[in-house]
Amino acid sequence: MPKPAAKIFPAAYLVTVDMGYGHQRAIHPLRDIAACPVGCLCGRGHVITANNYAGIPRRDRARWEGSRRLYEAVSRLKGVPFVGQAVFDTMDYLQRIEPFYPRRDLSRPTLQVNSIYRLIKKGWGRHLVETLNEKPLPLVSSFFIPAFFAEEHGYKGDIYSLCTDTDISRAWAPLEPRKSRINFLAPNRRVKERLMLYGVRPEKIYVTGFPLPKEALGGQNLSVLKQSLGCRIANLDPECCYRKKYEHTLNYYLGQSYRCLGARHPLTITFAVGGAGAQKDLGVTILKSLHRQIDKGEIRLNLVAGARNDVYRYYEDAVRELHLKKRHGGSVNIIYNGDKTQYFAEFNQAILTTDILWTKPSELSFYAGLGLPIIMAPTIGSQEEFNKNWLLAVGAGFEQEDPRYAHEWLFDWLRSGWLAEAAMKGFLDAPHSGVWHIADVVLGGRRSEIEGGHLL
């Protein structure tokens, strides 16, 4: 008997860049639709890193490496008085997002866009596109430059650019946006409106939401998310201020079974630094301020070092100095893995039992959709100012008070029920189903724009 034909699963090329965490974090939840290029033996789930893939030409790698080193160096320099701030401000100005109002034509290419296209016309990225053209599939890039590569070097499949902030600069739109065939996956409606100001045709833009980790969602019925949120509300509202006032809202959106869950772990705060390791000092300040509550087991603190060994060792020393319990169920957990894929997996597991996410308003702003109240550290860069404003508008984020006194103001916020309210506002008004909407669009389902959430 002839063997039955192998089942063919729809798939796409997932392309990202190793620059910070934002672009890789955005692509990570989509791995189950990822395809390998011809000749690659990695199997399904393979993500292509445009600045560090097997066979990348030396010249292309050098161009990418220069950009990455500059980004990380300038991010770390921001804290250096006078000179550091001036250098950062210059870079930030070149990448700035213009005010949205008054609505006007913003399609004219910036210096940054013109510079990128000059390099592409000299051959930057051609090798990657030619490699993928051996078996064209839909291509999804979480950074704008590989999408530009694909269009300029004649990629034969559909091209999708996945935007990773709540508002975006002109750099995300191609040189000639009105003629471009790039499709855009926008995390909210403001990004769609912004792309239209940049000259992108409306039919090339899909409002999908940001792709959040599936392990924190629990399927399209959101069972894991609702269970995590039910436990979280109990920790965030110790005096029942919020629950008494909004009992009907909790019953309606969570259901009786999830609403009545009690706290199953100590109040847990996760502090995450960015990919450049900036703001690592803030993690130690938080650790010192809360160390008495941590020592008593009243608070559990996750310090996220990411993939940076220097940040991990810095936190190790601080924990040792304060004689606090660490790892394996202790009161302090340092999340670190030199492999970024493994780091994202460990971070996503920690999120399941996190009650408060403390971080600068990066791409992690979208994690408000998981029902996580976000305490915002100072912004780094123009796009984070827009992310901060979005979180404040949704009602899911608070600007941090002086972190040295977190042991005072944090407990005032808890007693008031504010953090519980922020958790529910994020759950209700920030997008949380982007991972499925994106797959629908890219693989042919073309689901219409998501409904609900007045600020999507």
pLDDT digits (tens, 9 = 90+) for 129-170: 999 999 999 999 999 999 999 999 999 999 999 999 999 999
Check residue 50 and give its pLDDT.
96
Residues in the chain: 456
Asked if pLDDT for residue 61 goes beyond 50, the answer is yes
Kindly report which listed range (12-26, 65-79, 221-235) carries the lowest average pLDDT score: 65-79
Q: Which long-range contacts (CB under 8 A, 24 or more apart) does 186-189 make?
A: 187/163, 187/366, 187/431, 187/434, 188/390, 188/431, 188/455, 188/456, 189/455, 189/456
Residue 452: pLDDT above 80?
no
Mean pLDDT of the chain: 89
pLDDT more than 90, % of the chain: 77
Which helix (H) or strand (E) is 347 found in, with range?
Answer: helix 340-351
pLDDT at position 381 = 81
Of the CATH numbers 3.40.50.2000, 3.30.230.10, 3.40.190.10, 3.90.1150.10, which one belongs to the domain with range 214-430? 3.40.50.2000
CB 395 within 8 A of CB 413: no
Fold of 13-212+435-442: Rossmann fold (3.40.50)
Residue 20 pLDDT > 60: yes
Q: What is the pLDDT of residue 454?
A: 39
Residue type, 417: G
**DSSP H stretches of helix in 159-222:** 189-197
How much is the pLDDT for 25? Answer: 97
Question: Each residue of 172-224: pLDDT tens digit?
Answer: 999 999 999 999 999 999 999 999 999 999 999 999 999 999 999 998 899 99
74 pLDDT above the threshold of 60: no
Q: Could you give the percent of the chain with pLDDT greater than 70?
A: 86
Summarised one tens digit per residue, pLDDT across range 387-414 is: 999 999 999 999 999 999 999 999 999 9
Place 446 in a pLDDT band, splitting at 50, 70 and 90: low
Q: How confident is the model at residue 76 (pLDDT cuts 50, 70, 90)?
A: low
**455 burial class (0-12, 13-18, 19+ CB within 10 angstroms)?**
middle
Q: Is 421 left (phi over 0), alpha (psi -120 to 50) or beta?
A: alpha
* Matching residue, tokens 């009602």: 395
From residue 393, alpha-carbon distances to 281, 339, 369 in Å are: 28, 35, 14
- What's the whole-model pTM score? 0.91
Please list the residue range(s) of the chain that carry CATH number 3.40.50.2000.
Answer: 214-430
Return the closest-CA partner of residue 315 out of 269, 277, 354. Answer: 277
Q: Is-cis flag, bond preceding 102, omega within 30?
A: yes
pLDDT beyond 90 at 89: no
Q: What is the pLDDT of residue 70?
A: 63
Residue 261: the pLDDT is 75
pLDDT-based confidence at residue 171 (cuts at 50, 70, 90): very high
Task: Dump pLDDT digits (tens) for 337-380.
Answer: 999 999 999 999 999 999 999 999 999 999 999 999 999 999 98
Provide DSSP, 407-435.
HHHHHHHHHHTHHHHHHHHHHHHS---HH
* pLDDT of the residue at 241: 95
Average confidence (pLDDT) over 419-443? 97
**What pLDDT is attached to residue 37?**
83
Question: What's the CA gap between 271 and 275, in Å, rounded?
Answer: 13
Query: Cα dihedral angle (178, 182, 186, 191), rounded to 10 degrees?
Result: -30
123 φψ region: left (φ > 0), alpha (ψ -120 to 50), beta (else) = left
